Amino acid sequence: MADRSSDVDLAEGELTAAGPFSEAERAAVYRAIETRRDVRGEFLPTEVPDAVLARLLEAAHHAPSVGLMQPWNFIILRDMKTRRAIRDIVMARNAEAAAMFDDDRAAAYQRLKLEGIVDAPLNICITCDRTRGGKVVLGRTHQRDTDLLSTACAVQNLFLAARAEGIGVGWVSIFEPDDLRPILQLPDPVVPVAYLCVGYVEALFRRPELEARRWSKRLALEDLVFEESWDRPWRFPEEG
């Protein structure tokens, strides 16, 4: 282990050996990443036990955050009256969104199911408190939006933990952030980053649903990686 004896304020025993996971553990991590899907209409009515929900929230809370500001909060929503009010907002915004596409694309858009707010047994709104950590936060001094980016890491952690639990998650984003403020009684510095529909699912798409429905397709990674500068593509190693 590296000698960190000169570190300031580092208590004894704070470091542990680093090393790769076992092959099975590593495969499980990659499987969760590769098979995670955004779920819309495949929710089962089975309730998510509080013990499982607590594990998902714990995973989200272990996300990295710049300056350890941990700007997230989690609002758990089961009440159907509240969820219907949010669904009504999303439906109104959805109509606005459909009008932004040309005729063929608009028709395809309207056939997509883009939310499961009342279908899922549970909703979670993950917020970002933009005052968390005070006026000056280590690492945020020149990039203010690192609090939002940190909260997005918590969202991804929850997605991956849910996949490992056999639970589906759908991210609803068709609303203006201020639309939710009066319903959820959010203080001024707090903004909703992700509104999630959460529940057990019977099946998942083999590939992203929007790809399966030919709305879009996954880009080739080889076209997205550069070395040293934008004009120098990175050469991927030969397979095998």
pLDDT digits (tens, 9 = 90+) for 88-133: 999 999 988 888 998 888 888 888 887 899 999 999 999 999 999 9
- pLDDT tens digits, residue range 182-229? 999 999 999 999 999 999 998 888 898 888 888 899 999 999 999 999
pLDDT at residue 6, as a whole number? 55
Amino acid symbol at 71? P
Question: 77 in helix, strand or coil?
Answer: strand
Task: Say if 97 falls within a structural domain.
Answer: yes
Task: Say if 229 falls within a structural domain.
Answer: no
Band (pLDDT 50/70/90 cuts) for residue 22 is: very high
Q: Is the pLDDT of residue 8 over 80?
A: no
Task: Say if 19 falls within a structural domain.
Answer: no
Q: Helices 80-98 and 103-111 sit at what angle, rounded to 10 degrees?
A: 160
Task: Say if 23 falls within a structural domain.
Answer: no
Task: Say if 240 falls within a structural domain.
Answer: no
Average pLDDT over residues 139-146: 95
Q: Distance between CA atoms of 106 and 88, rounded to whole angstroms?
A: 20
Boundaries of domain holding 57: 37-206
Q: Which of 32-46, 142-156, 201-215 has the lowest mean pLDDT?
A: 201-215
Q: Is the pLDDT of residue 240 over 90?
A: no
Q: Among all chains, which residue has been given the structure tokens 């607590």?
A: 54
Q: Helices 146-164 and 50-61 sit at what angle, rounded to 10 degrees?
A: 140
For 117, half-sphere exposure in the C-beta direction (CA atoms, 13 angstrom radius) is 22
Task: Say if 147 falls within a structural domain.
Answer: yes
Can you point out the beta strands (E) in 117-239? 122-129, 167-172, 190-200, 226-227, 229-233
Q: Which of 10-19, 27-36, 177-186, 214-223 has the lowest mean pLDDT?
A: 10-19
Total count of domains within the chain: 1
Cβ-proximal residues to 24 (8 Å cutoff; 6+ apart), any chain: none
- Cβ pair 63, 165 in contact under 8 A: no
Band (pLDDT 50/70/90 cuts) for residue 1 is: very low
The domain spanning residue 70 has which CATH number?
A: 3.40.109.10
Cα dist. 210→12, 36, 181 in Å?
A: 50, 14, 29
Kindly report the average pLDDT of the chain as a whole number: 92
Q: Is the pLDDT of residue 239 over 90?
A: no
Task: Say if 99 falls within a structural domain.
Answer: yes
pLDDT at residue 16, as a whole number? 87
Task: Characterize the bridge pairing of strands 229-233 and 226-227.
Answer: antiparallel
- Which H or E run includes 86? helix 80-98
More confident residue, 14 or 51: 51
Task: Say if 60 falls within a structural domain.
Answer: yes
